[in-house]
Structure 1
Amino acid sequence: MTGTQRRDAGQAFPIYVVMVAGLLFLVFAFFAVGKASALRNGAQGAADAAALAAASQARDEFQAGFLASLPEDLLSEYLQAHPVGGCSAASGLAEANQAQLTGCIPFPGGREDRIKVSVKGDKPVDSSVLPGSKQTRAKATATAVIKFRCSWTSVDLNDDSIRDIFFFTCGKDFLEIRPSSPPPWSQVSKILYDVHLVDN
C-alpha cells in the first residue's frame, strides 16, 4: 500500500512541475503584455505632446507674415499660401517624454493647417517570453491642427489704400489690430488660431 502511494506521488510530481511552469509563463506573458501596453500609451502621449508643440510653434511663426499682410489687405492671400514649420519643437517634446521623433510632416491647408508626427519610444519591451522584444519599441503617431477661426473687416482711414484697423470676430471673441502698432502676438495668436489634436 505504501509503495503504491509513493509511485502515485512520483508520477504526479512532473505534472505539478509542468503546471507551475505553465502558470509562471502566463504570469510573465501577462506582465510583458502589460508592459507593452504601458509603453504604447507612453509613446502615444509623447506623440500627442510633440504634435501640439509643433502646432504651437508653427502658430508663433505665423506672426511676421500675418502682420505684414495686413496694411495692403493681403490677409486672404496669406492664409491661402504660407509656410508651416514647427518640427524643432516636436523633437524636444518627444525627447522630454522618453521618445524619439521619427517623422514630422506639415500639411498647409489655408485656414486649417495640419502637422503629423511619428515617434518611437526609448525603452524596449525586453521580455524573455516574447521573441524579438529586446529590440521592439513602441511607436505612435499624432496629428495637430492649426485652425484660423476668425472673420474680419478692415478700415482705410486715410483713403490711401493702406488698411489702418482690422476688426476680427472669432467665435465669441472680438479683436482689434492696428497694423501700425500691433499687440503682442502671444496675446492675439491664441484668439486668432485654435490648436488641437485630431484623429490621424
Structure 2
Amino acid sequence: MKSKIHEYQKNIFYAMSKKITLVLAFIGMIMLQGCTVNENTDTIDNDTISEVFELRNVNFSFNPNDGYTIYQTFNPQIFPSDVVLIYRLSGLINSNTPIWQSIPRTLFLPQGELDYDFDFSSVDFTIYAGGTYNLGLTPSFITNQTFRIVIIPGFFGKNSSLDYNDYNAVINAYNIDDSKVKILN
C-alpha cells in the first residue's frame, strides 16, 4: 500500500512539473518575442532622434501658381509620424546669439503684411512667403534667408507644456545638439 501511495505521489509530481515546464516555456516565448536582433550596425535609430537642419542664405523662387517658395526634399525621408518645425533667422543679438522666429509668422511692414508659412510630407517641405503687397518691393525678406528645420520624431508625442515658438526651448526639451546642425543647400 505504501508503494502505491508513493507511486501516486510521483505521478502527481511528474504531472505538475510537466505543467510548470509548459507554463515557463510559454512565458519564455512571450518574453523573447519582443526581442529583435539588428544585424546592420551602420543604421541610425532615426525614429527616436531629433535633428536640426539649416538652409543658409537661400532665396525664395517665384512662380505665378505658388508665389514665393523654397522647396527642399528630405534625404533620407522622415517617418510619416515625424513632426517638422521651421524657424526663420530674424536677426542677431550678437555674433553668437541668433534670433529664431517660428513660422508660420506674419510680419507687419510699412508696405503691408508679409506671411511666412510651410507645409511638409515625409519626403519634402515647402516654405512660402506671401503678402498683401508685391514682395519684390522688400527683397531683404525673400533673399538670403536662413531657416532651421527641426525634425521631432512622433515617438515623443506632443509636450503640452513646451512653447514650440521658442527655438531654444525646443532644442533643450528634445536634447538636440545645436552645435551639430546639418547645412542643406
Q: TM-score range by the shorter chain?
A: 0.3 to 0.5
Of Structure 1 and Structure 2, the greater helix share is in 1
Q: Which has the higher contact order (CA 8 A, sep 6+)?
A: 2
